[in-house]
Structure 1
Amino acid sequence: METTQNVTLAIPKDILRKAKILAVQKNTSLSGLLTQTLTDLVVNQEAYEQARQRNLALLDRGFDLGTHGKITWKRDELHER
């Protein structure tokens, strides 16, 4: 069983009222609703960070554009019309 920590939150009354209604509709407690929402937020952030790191590593490796690192053209040739 995971250890839990009690926290005190300051939430606007109208948001708290709506959150309680939402929790009842989802057949859970307010604590359960907040726990699930925070869990989803953390999991999504972790997945985003992992994807970001993979993509940055891919960019660092670079892409083979078929030139094998040799530039065979001149700048002026690229801009000719």
Structure 2
Amino acid sequence: MSTAVIEGELSLGSMSLQLGNLPKLQGTRIDMSRCPRIDSAGAAFLLELARRNTQGAQKLEIVNANEQARGLLRFFELDEVFAIV
């Protein structure tokens, strides 16, 4: 299982930078240990990663997400879309 690491915030203000990193983020596991904050734009970014990397065959696995990120993903009911470990 390959793991990609998110570096920095996943927020509306950082989306241009993060979208530039999108082609490099390959894998079915996303390590969020270096992501201090996420907002709704970041959640949409993760959905796009899931669409690109899993193509519906399996859930994208989110690992090492902080409480803020876990709470936001649960709020949007994305814990049903992602495997949050």
TM-score by length of 1: 0.24
Quick check: which one's strand share is greater?
2
Larger Rg: 1
Quick check: which one's helix share is greater?
1
Larger RCO of the pair (alpha carbons < 8 Å, separation 6+): 2
